[in-house]
A and B are shown apart, each in its own frame.
Chain A
Amino acid sequence: MWQSLPEFGTGVLYAILVTAAYTFAVGLAAGRGQPRLLRSARLGAYATAGLTLFAIALLAYAFITHDFRIRYVSRYSDRSMPTSYLLTALWGGQDGSLLWWLFLLSGYTTVCVAWLKGRYRHLQPYVIATLMAIFGFFVVLMLFAANPFEATIAGARSDGEGLNPLLQNYWMIIHPPSLYMGFVGCSVPFAFCMAALATGRLDNEWIIAVRKWMLFAFLFLSIGNALGMAWAYEELGWGGYWAWDPVENAACLPWFSAAAYVHSTMIQERRNMLKGWNVFLICLTFFLTIFGTFLTRAGIIASVHAFAQSDIGKYFVGFMGVIVATAAALVVWRLPRLRGKSQIEAVASREAMFVVNNWALLGGATFILIATMFPKISELWDDKVTVGPPFFNRWMAPIGLVIFALMGLAPLFGWRKTSPDALKKAFVFPVSMLVVTYVLHVAFGKSLGYPAFVEKDSFYPGIVGVVLQKVGSALPGITIALAAFNVSVVLQEFSRGIRARQRSAEKRNETESFPVALLRLIDKNRRRYGGYIVHVGICGIFVGFTGGAWGLDRETAMTPGQSYHLGSYELRYEGSRMCPGNPKCSPAEQADVSKRMIFADLTLLKGGAVVGHLSPAKFIYHRQPESPTTEVSMRRALREDIYTVVGTVDPQTKRATFQFHLNALVSWIWVGVMVLVGGALVSLWPELSFREAGAWSYLRASAGVATSSMLAIWLGSSPNSAYAVASRPHAPVIASQGVPQPLPTGALGAVGAGLGLGAVVAIRRRRAR
């Protein structure tokens, strides 16, 4: 049976299924309290994870050795691909991405089971059993519907079809794994939730166990979505970063419910309320990860991202049915224990604000879900109705602002109830900042190029249309004012905390300087102040989103020597060149024989001075000549990005058509995301003492590496990126199929520094222990 790799790989999948089933059964049996059964289940979980590692190593080996006997390998790779993209192809198609999902789940399972040693003895058996059930589903799915080891029916080909050129981009190397880390990470909170329901131990301990895992999943959902935006911005070439595509929407849905949970869990911890609500949010978050995967894989909604249509949809529907039925049955069974012992006593309380915030987040998620599904829903009674980005933008902007405002309001309230005096004291500074910012924006915004009011077209007839138009026109000013409000709330919270520490030190006849008090304040309340830093990051993201109101989108056709004015910039078209072949091409371009590259060279001027050179291009891959790719060239800056795309180039006259976009404040989104990641890491970082660190130290280390990698890529690509080269106008460095693009030196240095720092900290901690 094991004469060939395809059959051997399939055999390994069967082995995973058998091991997972064994572990599931032993885990359930261990729920009755027999230690040896629990020990057996723990070892079984490790073995299942080990087998998954074995399977993924086999598939990677098949890619590296170009084993085209395997259908998946022949469809998503070819002999010309560099090793990095061969490994990327592991998750480039449906079958492999399911195995990749399982691999990440095995990583989570290993870390979770290791971390559980000595903790939550009563929950462990059911946590393991739930994780094994999820394993079982994905293995069954692969074995019967999407086997990554399936053999090519016609026998091995001499070469494969190759990876989609759009996926051959460094953002795509890191975006799907990050997003999957977030998606798969939601399995662990779900497993704890099922365990708490099964055992009836629904007090606060299990949610304290879950909060770190959910925060970790939330962190990677944020990183994954942000990297997806960066990929779309740089690779798709339509000038934006978020097109409200069904798959993008599906990816952000769990983010909303996870964000809601991260806040509502505090209410249960503090007030012993909302137990049922928290169970619902965890189940919903996990359900949405499966639902999002179903949307992507089943092909029920048209999307630029969707994998090929297949019959795996029915498996997902079945699994979603099992999730809902199991969760509902357990909730009904445990309903008496899910009733809280307290209730909200006043509207002016933090828990009330959190509840409103939860509803706003879930309202936003529900709106996105219904709008995403609407084309399908509309088929039930009418012709298919398409819902496009303008619809989402028009409605989601006010919903987003409500969430944004609530984000700033909640920290100003105390638990249970807040006295009018305390409220007055808390609101004076942030509201003053809000008003001052708004007034300054209205007064000076226009002269700076960022007016507070931007007239919008009416989208609907009638009163709804008028209201949305007015709100849409006022949004820029309101958003910036709310950002100032939110930042001042965070500053005030830090300031009050620092002063409280200093007062406390004075009482002990000690002094605590500002930096020491700040560090100790964060150190002693990491979740709270890490959360505030996350809020600052979200402010940056909102400011970046608002920049869309001040952008310019233009299309034009030019002949060499002509210029075009875009805002305060001038773009001069120098001419076109085809590589390889043109003497102006760089050595890397000359050496790349996998495609033809047609560049349109532009000089960017500001006030008559040259500030950069841009070379948007069209790449025509020899393997897929019918699908030329658009290669964006842009100049990034905090104030605005100059984003250029070439449409067509006449080879005779050199006349070219262009799209020029002046994207204001887009970089604030990436900066905001990095601040958000930093804040989430502060919240996650040291919630354990040295002796308890164990597996969490490795998880945190991986999060640290992920962050440093992001930082490195950011440093390497800013402020000038892509093809904007000031000193060598005709020798841009490009990413190509045949010539892998090296990471910038700065990026490598930062990654190395991050890894080195992590290693030093790990060694010091190990010694300290």
Chain B
Amino acid sequence: MIGLTLSPNAARAALPVATLVGAVVTGVWLGVEIALLVIAAGALAGVIALLWASVQALTGESPLTLDEALTLGAPSVEEEQKRSVLRALKDLEFERSVGKISEADYTELSTRYRDDAKRLIQAIDAGSEFERERAEKALRARLEKEPAEALPAQRAEVETEEEPDSDAEPSDTHAAKREEEAS
């Protein structure tokens, strides 16, 4: 017996892809009207699955995965303000490079933005100390349990990630890394 396992993403993509392929095939072979019925059937099947999953989530029958839980983290107000200040700093540098701002104004604004950024970073650090300690504790506990050879592979994976675009909007989960680069 062959065991076939699909990743959650592949399983989620299966229905739309099957519907689309089915619609194209039936459209070519049997006509547009049958293709429309295939699309309607696919949409209905998807709706049933989604509503079922939605009700399960509502009643607490389906637990959140770690990945989902991570994406639900919301940045604090200070984090949002920090990103805004870092963006303004970057823009200021560009204005200076094309000669649109005098040196005196640049120095004044740059100092103001940097002071703001420092203040906000301190506020964020102060607010997250408790969580950091918890995270470090959890990490230590995990390191003790897991084999050490798994770690280099994970690190290599992180290092080969795509460099983020400097214009890109920071996501909640990857904001910290980008902010470090910007500063």
> Measuring CB to CB, which residues of chain A are less than 8 angstroms from any residue of chain B?
19, 23, 26, 35-41, 43-44, 46-47, 50-51, 53-54, 57-58, 60-61, 64-65, 83, 117-122, 201, 203-205, 208-209, 212, 269-270, 272, 413-419, 421-422, 425-426, 493, 496-497, 500, 503-504, 524-527, 686-692, 768-769
* Pairwise interchain contact A117-B165, C-beta atoms closer than 8 A: no
Contact A209-B169, Cβ < 8 Å, known A36-B57, A43-B57, A416-B105: yes
Contact A118-B172, Cβ < 8 Å, known A43-B50, A54-B40: yes
Task: For A495, give the chain B residue with the smallest CB separation.
Answer: B98
Task: For A16, give the chain B residue with the smallest CB separation.
Answer: B47
Q: Name the one of B74, B87, B95, B97 contacting A414, with C-beta atoms under 8 angstroms.
A: B95
* Pairwise interchain contact B58-A26, C-beta atoms closer than 8 A: yes
Contact A46-B43, Cβ < 8 Å, known A57-B36, A500-B97: no
What B residues does A83 contact at CB under 8 A? 32
What B residues does A54 contact at CB under 8 A? 40, 43-44, 47
* Pairwise interchain contact B32-A43, C-beta atoms closer than 8 A: no
Asked if B17 is an interface residue, CB under 8 A from chain A, the answer is: no
What B residues does A269 contact at CB under 8 A? 84, 87-88
* Pairwise interchain contact A203-B97, C-beta atoms closer than 8 A: no
Q: Name the one of B47, B92, B102 contacting A47, with C-beta atoms under 8 angstroms.
A: B47
Bound together, the chains give a CA A272 to CA B167 distance in angstroms of 19
Chain B CB within 10 Å, residue with most, of A57, A418, A525, A690: A57
Q: Name the one of B43, B99, B102, B162 contacting A53, with C-beta atoms under 8 angstroms.
A: B43
Bound together, the chains give a CA A426 to CA B98 distance in angstroms of 11
Interface of chain B residues 77 through 109 with chain A (CB within 8 A): 77, 80-81, 83-84, 87-88, 91-92, 94-95, 97-102, 105, 109
Asked if B173 is an interface residue, CB under 8 A from chain A, the answer is: yes
Q: Name the one of B50, B101, B164, B168 contacting A50, with C-beta atoms under 8 angstroms.
A: B50
Q: What 5 pairs across the A-B complex have the smallest Cβ distances?
A: A121-B74, A43-B54, A118-B71, A414-B100, A47-B50
Contact A203-B58, Cβ < 8 Å, known A53-B43, A269-B87, A692-B171: no
CB distance from B182 to the nearest CB of A (A): 13
Asked if B11 is an interface residue, CB under 8 A from chain A, the answer is: no
Asked if B46 is an interface residue, CB under 8 A from chain A, the answer is: yes
* Pairwise interchain contact A36-B40, C-beta atoms closer than 8 A: no
* Pairwise interchain contact B47-A422, C-beta atoms closer than 8 A: no
Bound together, the chains give a CA A64 to CA B77 distance in angstroms of 53
CB distance from B37 to the nearest CB of A (A): 6
* Pairwise interchain contact B47-A51, C-beta atoms closer than 8 A: yes
Bound together, the chains give a CA A38 to CA B92 distance in angstroms of 38
* Pairwise interchain contact B165-A525, C-beta atoms closer than 8 A: no
Asked if B148 is an interface residue, CB under 8 A from chain A, the answer is: no
Task: For A22, give the chain B residue with the smallest CB separation.
Answer: B54
What B residues does A46 contact at CB under 8 A? 46, 50
Interface string of B148-183 (1 = CB under 8 A from A): 000000000000011111111101111000000000
Chain A CB within 10 Å, residue with most, of B83, B92, B99: B99
Task: For B53, give the chain A residue with the smallest CB separation.
Answer: A43
Task: For A266, give the chain B residue with the smallest CB separation.
Answer: B91
CB distance from B17 to the nearest CB of A (A): 14
What B residues does A203 contact at CB under 8 A? 77, 80-81, 84
Interface of chain B residues 43 through 71 with chain A (CB within 8 A): 43-44, 46-47, 50-51, 53-55, 57-58, 60, 64, 68-71
Bound together, the chains give a CA A36 to CA B58 distance in angstroms of 6
Asked if B117 is an interface residue, CB under 8 A from chain A, the answer is: no
* Pairwise interchain contact B53-A204, C-beta atoms closer than 8 A: no
* Pairwise interchain contact A117-B164, C-beta atoms closer than 8 A: no
Contact A65-B81, Cβ < 8 Å, known A500-B97, A500-B98: no
Asked if B73 is an interface residue, CB under 8 A from chain A, the answer is: yes
* Pairwise interchain contact B88-A527, C-beta atoms closer than 8 A: no
Task: For A205, give the chain B residue with the smallest CB separation.
Answer: B80
Interface residues on B, range: 35 or more
Task: For A53, give the chain B residue with the smallest CB separation.
Answer: B43
Q: Name the one of A204, A212, A422, A525 contacting B94, with C-beta atoms under 8 angstroms.
A: A525
Task: For B68, give the chain A residue with the smallest CB separation.
Answer: A39
Bound together, the chains give a CA A768 to CA B64 distance in angstroms of 29
Asked if B115 is an interface residue, CB under 8 A from chain A, the answer is: no
What B residues does A44 contact at CB under 8 A? 50-51, 54
Pairs A–B under 8 Å by Cβ, sample size 29: A19-B51, A26-B58, A35-B69, A36-B60, A37-B57, A44-B50, A47-B54, A50-B46, A50-B47, A57-B36, A61-B33, A64-B33, A118-B71, A119-B172, A203-B84, A204-B87, A269-B88, A415-B95, A415-B100, A496-B98, A500-B94, A503-B97, A525-B94, A686-B165, A687-B167, A690-B162, A691-B164, A692-B174, A769-B162
What A residues does B94 contact at CB under 8 A? 500, 525
* Pairwise interchain contact B58-A60, C-beta atoms closer than 8 A: no
What A residues does B46 contact at CB under 8 A? 46-47, 50
* Pairwise interchain contact A57-B40, C-beta atoms closer than 8 A: yes
* Pairwise interchain contact A61-B40, C-beta atoms closer than 8 A: yes
Contact A422-B100, Cβ < 8 Å, known A43-B53, A46-B50: yes
What A residues does B43 contact at CB under 8 A? 50-51, 53-54, 57
Contact A39-B64, Cβ < 8 Å, known A61-B33, A117-B71, A688-B168: yes
Asked if B72 is an interface residue, CB under 8 A from chain A, the answer is: yes
CB distance from A518 to the nearest CB of B (A): 14
Q: Name the one of A61, A209, A526 contacting B167, with C-beta atoms under 8 angstroms.
A: A526
Bound together, the chains give a CA A687 to CA B109 distance in angstroms of 26
What A residues does B57 contact at CB under 8 A? 36-37, 39-40, 43
* Pairwise interchain contact B84-A36, C-beta atoms closer than 8 A: no
CB distance from A267 to the nearest CB of B (A): 12
* Pairwise interchain contact A419-B51, C-beta atoms closer than 8 A: no
What B residues does A415 contact at CB under 8 A? 91-92, 95, 100-101
Task: For B108, give the chain A residue with the smallest CB separation.
Answer: A416
Interface of chain B residues 6 through 29 with chain A (CB within 8 A): none
CB distance from B147 to the nearest CB of A (A): 28
Bound together, the chains give a CA A40 to CA B102 distance in angstroms of 53
Task: For A116, give the chain B residue with the smallest CB separation.
Answer: B71
Bound together, the chains give a CA A57 to CA B43 distance in angstroms of 9
Contact A414-B101, Cβ < 8 Å, known A57-B40, A205-B84, A768-B162: yes
What B residues does A64 contact at CB under 8 A? 32-33, 36
* Pairwise interchain contact A688-B169, C-beta atoms closer than 8 A: yes
Bound together, the chains give a CA A73 to CA B39 distance in angstroms of 20
What A residues does B71 contact at CB under 8 A? 117-118, 121
Bound together, the chains give a CA A313 to CA B60 distance in angstroms of 43
Chain B CB within 10 Å, residue with most, of A26, A54, A686, A768: A54
Bound together, the chains give a CA A120 to CA B125 distance in angstroms of 21
Bound together, the chains give a CA A415 to CA B99 distance in angstroms of 12
Bound together, the chains give a CA A261 to CA B180 distance in angstroms of 30
Q: Name the one of A35, A201, A417, A496 contacting B72, with C-beta atoms under 8 angstroms.
A: A35
Interface string of B111-124 (1 = CB under 8 A from A): 00000000000000
What A residues does B109 contact at CB under 8 A? 416
What A residues does B81 contact at CB under 8 A? 203-204
* Pairwise interchain contact B161-A691, C-beta atoms closer than 8 A: yes
Q: A47-B54, A51-B47, A203-B81 are in contact. List 5 more A-B contacts (CB 8 A).
A: A26-B58, A64-B32, A201-B77, A414-B105, A419-B102
What B residues does A51 contact at CB under 8 A? 43, 47
What B residues does A53 contact at CB under 8 A? 39-40, 43
Bound together, the chains give a CA A53 to CA B47 distance in angstroms of 10
Task: For A52, give the chain B residue with the smallest CB separation.
Answer: B43
Chain B CB within 10 Å, residue with most, of A39, A418, A503: A39
What A residues does B73 contact at CB under 8 A? 121
* Pairwise interchain contact A47-B162, C-beta atoms closer than 8 A: no
* Pairwise interchain contact A205-B83, C-beta atoms closer than 8 A: yes
Bound together, the chains give a CA A78 to CA B43 distance in angstroms of 28
Bound together, the chains give a CA A755 to CA B55 distance in angstroms of 39
CB distance from A200 to the nearest CB of B (A): 9
CB distance from B73 to the nearest CB of A (A): 6
Contact A422-B99, Cβ < 8 Å, known A57-B39, A118-B172, A121-B72: yes
Chain A CB within 10 Å, residue with most, of B37, B40, B173: B40
Bound together, the chains give a CA A117 to CA B172 distance in angstroms of 10
